[in-house]
Structure 1
């Protein structure tokens, strides 16, 4: 059984299997969400944006095409390697741990999109991330966090399913231990058995409010889906928070 060592997000995100499993993500919906978001924020064109945990940079590229200066950072060196060819005078990518400060007092907006938060075992790491975001923002800069609505996700948790992609049967089981949502992924490829696990803290709205208050932010708005409808604890599938640096 092959299982790469290290923190799960350092290993799983760097494998080809991660990109096979998630190849059918709805990027049209994602771009529609970013359009809605940028329309709401009504940013001047000279703002400097950071896409924190940018993956392969698809959303950084989309934000950049809207006329904004964008830096995308991610811990996955393989993802950044794939993003690098898209660089231009106003778009750059770099490998970076979101718990650390990248550039102080530099960015007008920090985007953290599509549940790219709560990966760590230590809850205090969430404070490290947000403290770093605060330091990277200019005065009264904005952070946009798009996370799953943990209450809704737990109510609709699919415990077992099989997804077949590129001839590989991905056997997926999900569970909750009171703190993390676990997603175990087992499959066989070319005669080898593989096991990977995703683990994300089920951070709820009230916890985010506390985390943001502790790290020097004031919440401006909270939305519940990609069309920016009002948040509803039981019905919204997303938790989208826009907060300003105090």
Structure 2
């Protein structure tokens, strides 16, 4: 197995097949569970680590939070940006490896869902 297998995995059709059962409703339910548990203020800032196509990012943003997201996959980030455009949501995404992220900003909640 290649050392950096994950760089290929997240760009592959296999990844899409493995996660195609996850939909917006699934993301909405999980985001609501998280928010009920952590009870953030309305001006909270959320980081969606390894955000993929942005399903959770979008749900948090629709609830009025400032959200930032990053992912290793440029293709998935492009999908996330398109999904945000379709819903008129500000897209604050950057490409990064979760193992090497150095954050200078502070966040009220950091999620890493389905990675």
Q: TM-score, normalised by structure 2?
A: 0.81
* SS in structure 2 of the partner of residue 35 of structure 1: helix
Deviation at 1:35, TM superposition (A): 0.4
Structure with bigger strand share is 1
Among 33, 36, 59, the alignment partner of 1:36 is 33
CA deviation after TM superposition for structure 1 residue 6, in Å: 5.8
- d(CA) in 1 for partners of 2:99, 2:17: 28
Runs of 4+ in structure 1 deviating by more than 6 angstroms, as ranges, are none
- Residue segments in structure 1 that go unaligned for 5+ positions in a row: 117-246
Say which structure, 1 or 2, has more relative contact order (CA 8 Å, 6+ apart): 2
1:18-167 equivalent positions in 2, closer than 5 A: 18-25=15-22, 27-85=24-82, 86=84, 88-89=89-90, 91-114=91-114, 116=115
Aligned CA RMSD, in angstroms, stands at: 2.2
User: 1:23 Cα shift?
Assistant: 1.3
TM-score by length of 1: 0.41
Shift of 1:51: 0.4
Q: Which has the larger radius of gyration?
A: 1
Preserved CA contact (<8 Å) 1:51 1:72:
yes
